[in-house]
Amino acid sequence: MSDSIPMTREGYNKLRQEVERLEQEEMPKIVARIAEARAEGDLKENAEYHGARESQGILQAQINELKSKLARAAIMDPSAGPQDEIRFGATFKVKRLSNDMTEEYTLVGAGEEDFGEGKILATSPLGRGFLGHKKGDKVDIEVPVGILQFEILDITY
């Protein structure tokens, strides 16, 4: 997995803060739980000890995943490049052709995605489907539920 992950400086900082929070706040709590459980004696039949060790492993995996994303981060500047096509950082309005509903999306990087807010990953199937298109284009995007058809109404940065 050496593919770079596009993200804004804001998204990068958000991920970094989450790693720090997990390492500085959450991990010490689990280490304390392990120490308390270890003090209770026989570890073979100590459910609290085994539960805390499992929690530690899960948290460490989460930290490692976030650190991997940070290591592969490619900080993007949305203002650089052509403003008339959909690129990373673009906010754009589309009309879904199946129901004439208007939707607004922003292509974002890892750590910034929030589908409820219209922030979709630039690397997702939906995000990749919009890349490079211009105002007025009709776009067919294959997603797990089928093919979605859109018309691009506006693009802003």
- Among 95, 106, 102, 107, which Cα is nearest to 137's? 95
Give a yes or no: residue 133 inside a domain.
yes
Report the percent of the chain where pLDDT is more than 90: 62
Give a yes or no: residue 80 inside a domain.
no
0.75 surpassed by pTM: no
| 148: amino acid identity, one letter | L
Total of domains in the chain: 2
Q: What is the pLDDT of residue 2?
A: 56
- The residue-averaged pLDDT of 19-36 equals 96
Provide the mean pLDDT of the chain.
91
Flag whether pLDDT at 93 surpasses 50.
yes
Query: Domain of 151?
Result: 91-156
71 and 108 co-located in one domain: no
Separation CA 106–CA 77 (nearest Å)? 14
Flag whether pLDDT at 22 surpasses 70.
yes
139 and 98 co-located in one domain: yes
Flag whether pLDDT at 133 surpasses 90.
yes
Q: What is the pLDDT of residue 113?
A: 87
2-16, 29-43, 67-81, 90-104 — most confident range: 90-104
**SS3 of residue 40 by DSSP:** coil
Strand ranges (DSSP E) for the chain? Answer: 5-7, 73-75, 91-96, 101-108, 119-121, 138-143, 146-156
Separation CA 138–CA 147 (nearest Å)? 13
Give a yes or no: residue 19 inside a domain.
yes
Which CATH number is 53's domain given?
A: 1.10.287.180
For residue 77 the two structure tokens come to 């500047």
Final residue of a structural domain among 47, 75, 103: 75
Res. 86 pLDDT band, cuts 50 70 90: very high
pLDDT tens per residue across span 106-131: 999 887 889 899 999 988 999 999 99
Give a yes or no: residue 32 inside a domain.
yes
Q: What is the pLDDT of residue 1?
A: 44
